[in-house]
């Protein structure tokens, strides 16, 4: 069928499985591609590599739908371009987002490369997001199911990516997807969705980092500059993270604040960590600079909303450029902003831009 051959990332989960079904019903010649990215995560019950379970589920769906199944091994490049960069960024004091990097550097460009080899005209995934063509341009929109919207992770895609990509479940809710899967007797209709790092899974980030980064004991200060404890290395922590012995931050809370929760407020030179009690003004920031800013369509300034984490709250503010630097000015100070994290700017449901956040003199004192 002319212009109807499509390469689908078939993960073994219910979302990509229903995406395959939808595409087939629409007349596409679907090739299901299982991506091998990380083989070290173990199934806690069997002790075997977890990706083998997902591959088996993918093969079952491909067989059930009567579509071609292939496996693509991207593990080496995933380790180099995503995991190694993640470790380097953490080592330098940043808080990166490997899921965004995985999509922009690995999943979408490499799927498209393989699609062209196979003579396919499109690629598809089971992401909860939508693409809209306006004139000659493409827009990235949030998924219909706002509780599952994945546009945050896809905000680094460009016009070329969007022009040959389809998100079949973007106009559905998760509940609707499961209902379709169950009605079609998919064995994975009630399979839990993946969490944690893309393809690695749910892990304790602190322990994962310690596998590659050497601990370096440092001091913890309160907001008045008084030493109140020790930590294992600023690279292991994120601004806004709850401080505690469970992650190697051992502090003596000041009198009168023993019942309060303390959070990481600053990571300073000299391996110094600053913590503050909940509600303290130093935990909030209003202005944030945006490095490596990427616009989906065109460079835009003005009043928008921004999200600083996947499915996080949308905060109103203004995107502006001054002295050659882009920044987002929040309407009021917010907590949890960390350099290296991704900020995504929205105009209602449309993704406007994204980039890495950078904190310095913009902190509220």
Tell me the residue ranges of DSSP E strands in 192-314: 218-221, 227-231, 250-251, 262-268, 272-277, 284-295, 302-307
Q: Which of 49, 198, 235, 282 is catalytic?
A: 198
Beta bridge partners of 335: 284
CA 166 to each of CA 143, 232, 257, 344: distance values in angstroms, whole numbers, following the listed order: 12, 44, 52, 21
**258 in helix, strand or coil?**
coil
**133 in helix, strand or coil?**
strand
**269 in helix, strand or coil?**
coil
Cα-flanking dihedrals φ and ψ of residue 268, to 5°? -105, 165
Q: Which of 49, 102, 235, 282 is catalytic?
A: 102
Q: Are strands 5-9 and 122-124 parallel, antiparallel or unpaired?
A: parallel
Instruction: Supply 320's token pair.
Output: 């502006």
CA 286 to each of CA 172, 346, 363: distance values in angstroms, whole numbers, following the listed order: 35, 17, 7
Residue 282 falls in the annotated catalytic set: no
Contact 285, 334 (CB under 8 A): yes
Handedness of CA 162, 315, 273, 238 (dihedral sign): negative
Strand order in the sheet with 122-124: 68-73, 29-36, 5-9, 122-124, 165-166
d(CA 117, CA 162): 19
d(CA 204, CA 271): 22
Residue 102 falls in the annotated catalytic set: yes
Q: Tokens 């739908």 belong to which residue?
A: 65
Q: Which residues are catalytic?
A: 102, 198
């Amino acid at each position: 069928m002319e212009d109807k051959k499509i390469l689908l990332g078939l993960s073994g989960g219910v979302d990509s499985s229903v995406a395959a079904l939808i595409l087939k019903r629409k007349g596409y010649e679907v090739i299901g591609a299982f991506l091998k990215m990380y083989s070290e995560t173990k199934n806690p019950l069997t002790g075997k590599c977890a990706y083998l379970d997902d591959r088996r589920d993918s093969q079952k769906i491909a067989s059930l739908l009567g579509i071609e199944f292939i496996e693509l091994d991207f593990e080496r490049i995933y380790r180099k371009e995503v995991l190694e960069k993640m470790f380097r960024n953490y080592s330098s004091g940043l808080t990166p987002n490997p899921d965004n990097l995985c999509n922009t550097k690995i999943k979408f460009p490499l799927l498209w490369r393989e699609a062209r080899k196979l003579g396919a005209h499109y690629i598809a995934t089971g992401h909860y997001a939508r693409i809209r063509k306006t004139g000659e341009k493409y827009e990235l929109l949030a998924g219909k199911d706002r509780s599952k919207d994945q546009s945050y992770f896809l905000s680094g895609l460009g016009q070329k990516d969007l022009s040959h990509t389809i998100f079949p479940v973007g106009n559905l809710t998760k509940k609707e997807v499961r209902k379709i899967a169950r009605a079609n007797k998919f064995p994975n209709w009630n399979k839990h969705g993946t969490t944690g790092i893309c393809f690695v899974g749910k892990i304790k980030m602190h322990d994962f980092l310690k596998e590659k980064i050497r601990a370096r004991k440092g001091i913890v200060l309160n907001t008045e500059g008084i030493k109140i404890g020790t930590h294992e290395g600023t690279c292991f922590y994120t601004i806004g993270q709850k401080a505690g012995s469970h992650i190697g931050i051992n502090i003596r809370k000041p009198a009168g604040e023993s019942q309060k929760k303390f959070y990481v407020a600053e990571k300073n030179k000299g391996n110094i960590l600053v913590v503050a009690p909940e509600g303290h003004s130093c935990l909030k920031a209003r202005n944030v600079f945006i490095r490596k800013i990427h616009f989906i369509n065109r460079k835009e300034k003005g009043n928008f909303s921004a999200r600083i984490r996947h499915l996080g709250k949308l905060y109103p503010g203004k995107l502006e450029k001054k002295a050659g630097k882009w920044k987002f000015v929040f309407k009021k100070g917010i907590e949890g902003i960390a350099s290296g994290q991704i900020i995504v700017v929205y105009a209602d449901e449309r993704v406007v831009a994204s980039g890495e956040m950078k904190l310095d003199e913009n902190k509220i004192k």
